[in-house]
């Protein structure tokens, strides 16, 4: 009798589960169907990918459906106004939701950036800002178009696995909008530029919300087919007989073996003494073949290279490696005080996606008295830096945009010396805090997330915060040093499993100005050690947290960057999870 009852209860549970699964799938299908009925295709092109044929079409749509669709966004009125004009009411294609939401961003961004051309001034700073805005526009347009292409090229059931990519690209679009605004000096023209960019910012935020919502809803249906869908993107890969993940290409396997030996086979060699193919890094990049297939490797022999280097957007998948971060050094001294706009002060600028640097240094020698002086600026998506050094004072490392991974690096500076709006993880890195000007305080990080929907933030895992000898010298005047401050409203920094020395002030963080961002920032600490790691004395802002292990898991390399899908292919040593 007991067996019969157990069997009957088991069958009942199975039937209940089948019903729940059916309801979940049905709800998902109906949601997509409703969404598809709201949104129409907004992309028409001949496949050339230059964005010239991307457009939105004024069509009627169901106002009730659009209202429901936009209710999850932070700017529903802007959402309704844009989508009501952009979508037809008679389509059943669920992909048109994402296409419409992203296509209107392109239109809004174009209008916003175009306004910068109307801001005439005799001030060289304004003229420079206008020029910078046009560069930011090209970068933003590229990220919007690649987002649209991803939506178009993938089936609906594949889109959740592409969600993080799409949100990373659109987060960069938000960053570029703010960079354009920040370039203008304080005053009337800056306020005009901010007002002109308001619609573009809201449209981008809405697109981020819609993509996130669609992905999250689909992810709720926990079916075996769903797990198979995610396996290629998230799950630990199976190893083949040679020990490498099954999804590694032969090219990746070869490069990984070469990296283990620390001497990848270079395409070209740079040597200052003339024993290589080129004597400067810039010359080697200028001679790089166009449309090169595969990874292009540049070996840079020991030497001090005094040049300003740019790895352009067109130079994808470039690897540079040196003879060690104390031997192969790229150096410069451009700075803000002498008249160069901050992001143009960078000694080295990495823009091409997939950039990898190993065993080399990036230096700005302008000194603390020159204020903003960047050693390295990075906008490369899926960039990796291994065993490198970034040396400067204020604004040493500009982790500007996209996804970045730093392993075993030494980063030194004074004020905001790790700043930007990238999604960046620093693992096993040494943060060396130097002595600033007498009237200054030290701040390690100044993360610049502008919108809460962005997927950006800084994560410092298993790092060490140390004062250099001059800062630690007890005979010198004491300098206060902090872990971070909020450059922008939704600044996000997580420090976990790290060693924090006692020179860090017990407050931990300092404000930017007044109460700006203190309620909207997110600063978190988890399982740190050392005399500076005690959290009892931390500032009592609403956004400062001591988090649990479960919360910390959100900020691991795997979960925050989806690191298993791209970092191992570079050969970089990486820990995907927590260590404790």
Q: Which residues are the active-site residues? A: 416
Q: Give the β-pairing of 410-413 and 430-433.
A: parallel
The candidate with the shortest Cα–Cα distance to 55, out of 42, 64, 66, is 42
The candidate with the shortest Cα–Cα distance to 66, out of 43, 46, 86, is 86
| Cβ proximity of 442 and 436 under 8 Å | yes
Instruction: Name the β-bridge partners of 546.
Output: 525
| Cβ proximity of 478 and 502 under 8 Å | no
- Sheet hosting strand 389-391, strand order edge to edge: 303-306, 328-332, 361-364, 389-391, 410-413, 430-433, 464-467, 499-500
| Cβ proximity of 406 and 424 under 8 Å | yes
Secondary structure of residue 577 in the 3-state scheme: coil
CA 191 to chain centre: 26
Secondary structure of residue 356 in the 3-state scheme: strand
CA 145 to chain centre: 17
Radius of gyration of the chain (CA): 25
CA distance 381 to 424: 10
Structure tokens that stand for 219 in this block: 């992810």
The DSSP output letter for 341 is: -
CA 578 to chain centre: 20
| Cβ proximity of 322 and 328 under 8 Å | yes
| Cβ proximity of 446 and 159 under 8 Å | no
State residue 338 phi and psi, 5-degree precision.
-85, 5
Q: Give the β-pairing of 457-461 and 303-306.
A: unpaired
């Amino acid at each position: 009798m007991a067996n019969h009852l157990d069997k009957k209860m088991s069958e009942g549970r199975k039937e209940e589960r089948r019903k729940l699964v059916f309801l979940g799938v049905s709800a998902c299908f109906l949601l997509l169907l409703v969404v598809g009925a709201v949104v129409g295709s907004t992309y028409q092109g001949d496949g050339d990918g230059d964005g010239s044929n991307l457009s939105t079409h004024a069509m009627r749509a169901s106002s009730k459906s659009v209202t429901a669709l936009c209710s999850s966004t932070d700017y529903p009125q802007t959402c309704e106004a844009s989508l009501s004009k952009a979508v037809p009411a008679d389509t059943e294609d669920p992909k048109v939701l994402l296409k419409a939401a992203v296509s209107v961003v392109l239109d809004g961004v174009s209008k916003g950036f175009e306004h910068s051309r109307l801001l005439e001034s005799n001030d060289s700073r304004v003229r420079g800002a206008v020029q910078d805005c046009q560069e930011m526009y090209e970068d933003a347009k590229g990220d919007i178009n690649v987002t649209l292409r991803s939506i178009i090229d993938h089936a609906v059931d594949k889109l959740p696995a592409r969600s993080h990519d799409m949100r990373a690209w659109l987060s960069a679009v938000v960053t570029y909008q703010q960079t354009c605004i920040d370039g203008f000096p304080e005053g009337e023209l800056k306020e005009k530029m901010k007002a002109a960019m308001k619609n573009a910012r809201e449209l981008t935020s809405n697109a981020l919300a819609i993509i996130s919502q669609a992905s999250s809803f689909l992810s709720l249906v926990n079916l075996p087919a769903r797990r198979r869908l995610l396996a290629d993107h998230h799950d630990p890969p199976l190893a083949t007989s040679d020990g490498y993940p099954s999804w590694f290409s032969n090219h990746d396997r070869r490069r990984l073996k070469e990296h283990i030996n620390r001497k990848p086979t270079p395409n070209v060699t740079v040597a200052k003494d003339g024993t290589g193919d080129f004597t400067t890094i810039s010359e080697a990049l200028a001679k790089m073949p166009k449309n090169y297939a595969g990874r292009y490797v540049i070996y840079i022999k020991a030497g001090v290279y005094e040049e300003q280097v740019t790895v352009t957007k067109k130079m994808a998948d470039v690897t540079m490696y040196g003879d060690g971060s104390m031997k192969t050094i790229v150096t410069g001294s451009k700075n803000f005080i002498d008249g160069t706009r901050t992001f143009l002060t960078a000694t080295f600028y990495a823009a091409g996606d997939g950039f990898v640097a190993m065993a080399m240094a990036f230096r700005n020698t302008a000194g603390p008295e020159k204020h903003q002086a960047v050693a390295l600026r990075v906008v490369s998506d899926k960039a990796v830096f291994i065993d490198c050094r970034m040396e400067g004072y204020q604004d040493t490392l500009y982790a500007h945009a996209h996804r970045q991974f730093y392993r075993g690096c030494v980063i030194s500076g004074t004020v905001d010396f790790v700043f930007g709006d990238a999604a960046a993880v620093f693992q096993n890195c040494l943060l060396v805090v130097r002595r600033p000007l007498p009237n200054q305080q030290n701040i390690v990080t100044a993360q610049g997330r502008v919108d809460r929907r962005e997927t950006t933030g800084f994560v410092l895992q298993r790092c060490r915060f140390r004062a250099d000898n001059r800062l630690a010298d007890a005979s010198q005047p004491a300098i206060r040093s902090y872990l971070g401050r909020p450059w922008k409203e939704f600044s996000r920094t997580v420090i976990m499993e790290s060693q924090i020395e006692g020179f860090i002030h017990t407050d931990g963080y300092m404000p930017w100005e007044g109460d700006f961002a203190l309620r909207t920032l997110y600063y978190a600490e988890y399982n740190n050690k050392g005399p500076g790691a005690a959290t009892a004395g931390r500032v009592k802002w609403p956004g400062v947290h001591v988090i649990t292990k479960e919360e910390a898991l959100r900020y691991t390399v795997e979960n925050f960057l989806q690191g298993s899908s791209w970092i191992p292919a570079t050969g970089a040593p990486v820990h995907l999870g927590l260590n404790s």
